[in-house]
Amino acid sequence: MLPEKTVERLSQYRRTLLNCLSLGKTHIFSHEIAELQNITAVQVRRDIMFLGFSSAQRKGYDVKEMIDIIGNVIDSNEVLNIAVVGMGNLGTAVTHYFIGKRPKLNIVASFDISPDRFGTIISGVECFHMDELARIIKEKNITIGMLTVPPEVASETAQKLMDSAIKGILNFTTVPLNVSPNKVYLEQYDMITSLEKVAYFVKKQG
């Protein structure tokens, strides 16, 4: 199993390489990837070593081949189904953004408690009542939940996901969640903390 940070960087490399490929670039050196990612070339080469991938010394890495190899390593063999829980502004935006981004990751359902949202379709994804969570997760074989609910209900909603046999949670709320790592993989994404970090370094530069 790869280290978490390595998986993150490989995902970032793939996005960078896809962009390079769209611009007609067929080969790339580790120092070029490093410059685009704002890290060291040594780190890039270490990560690529995990892939068992080597470069033609004079031409660099084959961009298309590296994209395919990264996909073989970090993607699931089968499509993983995802549910977005909480269809307010953030949940709606997240659904719009992620649809079609990766062929092996498929948002197939969303959930909310507001009657105004039941049965609505966002980017082809139907919204269900939270009372139907367990049934829909089982019927649609959903293994990942994206949590975009208000902070005050984040913990109880995460528990409902775990009770429904969800295997992974991406938490967009500002509430840290406690889950059993043996049962659920949790990724916390705190936009406020990220923004405050940016603001701190902007202040230091000023």
Query: Which CATH architecture is the domain 80-193 placed in?
Result: 3-Layer(aba) Sandwich (3.40)
Helix (H, G, I), strand (E, B) or coil at 31: helix
CB 122 within 8 A of CB 95: yes
Quote the CA–CA distance of 170 and 162 in Å, as a whole number.
12
Q: What is the DSSP letter of 80?
A: E
| Digit-coded pLDDT (tens) for 127-168 | 999 999 999 999 999 999 999 999 999 999 999 999 999 999
Question: What confidence tens digit (pLDDT) does each residue in 62-75 have?
Answer: 999 999 999 999 99
**Model confidence pTM above 0.75:** yes
Domain spans, the chain: 4-73, 80-193
Write down the residue that tokens 């997760």 correspond to.
137
Q: Is the pLDDT at 191 greater than 90, yes or no?
A: no
Interval 22-39 mean pLDDT: 94
Per-residue model confidence as pLDDT tens digits over 4-16: 899 999 999 999 9
Q: Do domains 4-73 and 80-193 have the same CATH topology?
A: no
Residue appearing with tokens 């670039």: 25
User: How many CA atoms, within 13 angstroms, populate the side-chain half-sphere of residue 142?
Assistant: 27
CATH of domain 4-73: 1.10.10.10
Please answer whether residues 109 and 125 qualify as being in contact, where contact means their C-beta atoms are separated by less than 8 angstroms: yes
